[in-house]
Amino acid sequence: MTVGTPDHSIIGNNVGRILGNLLQGRRCIVYNSDLYVELSDNYHVCPDVTVSCDPRDRRAKEAIRYPSLVVEVLSPTTEARDRGKKSLQYRSSQTIQEYLLINTETLIVELFRREKNGFWTLYTLGPDDDIELTSLSIRFPVTEIYQNTSIMDKENEYENPPDGD
């Protein structure tokens, strides 16, 4: 397990909080990166955030098997794996309907969605966009997941440069 940056940690916590708040009162559970997700008999991963609405996961002892959403917060040391082998495993899962790849250096989120025909569509979202998770019937602004990060500080500097003499 690698150690993430402060922004990586903040983004993961923000996503978990946002999803938890939006899913409050539903039978869905938001998990953090401490939990294993079993994608096959010999492939387990620990996404930064996972959501399962499947009652079978409520009884899980060591790993959940029926997530509908997974979220990966990208870092330089994990990005290749998150975009490669993990991405293929997520897309081969029968239960995962959407997954997010969140950039930690710029305000860009990639949303992968399984369409009704079984094919996956990629949506690249920026600071002016909302993330719509159709599998969970929720929507929130991209900027919410970057709150309190140095990335938002940089964005605010560009929008509000200091006054010059």
Q: Which residues pair with 53 in a beta bridge?
A: none
The token pair at 165 is 């003499």
**pLDDT recorded at residue 1:** 46
> In the predicted model, is pLDDT for residue 160 greater than 80?
no
DSSP state letter for 142: G
* pLDDT above 90 as % of the chain: 76
Coil, strand, or helix at residue 165?
coil
pTM of the entire structure? 0.89
pLDDT band for 161, please (50, 70, 90 cuts): low
Domains and CATH numbers, the chain: 6-155 (3.90.1570.10)
Coil, strand, or helix at residue 148?
coil
pLDDT band for 141, please (50, 70, 90 cuts): very high
Sheet holding 69-73, edge to edge: 29-32, 49-52, 69-73, 98-102, 109-114, 120-125
pLDDT mean across residues, the chain:
91
* Separation CA 76–CA 105 (nearest Å): 10
> In the predicted model, is pLDDT for residue 3 greater than 90?
no
> In the predicted model, is pLDDT for residue 151 greater than 60?
yes
* Residue-wise pLDDT tens digits, 36-87: 999 988 899 999 999 999 999 998 988 999 999 999 999 888 888 989 989 9
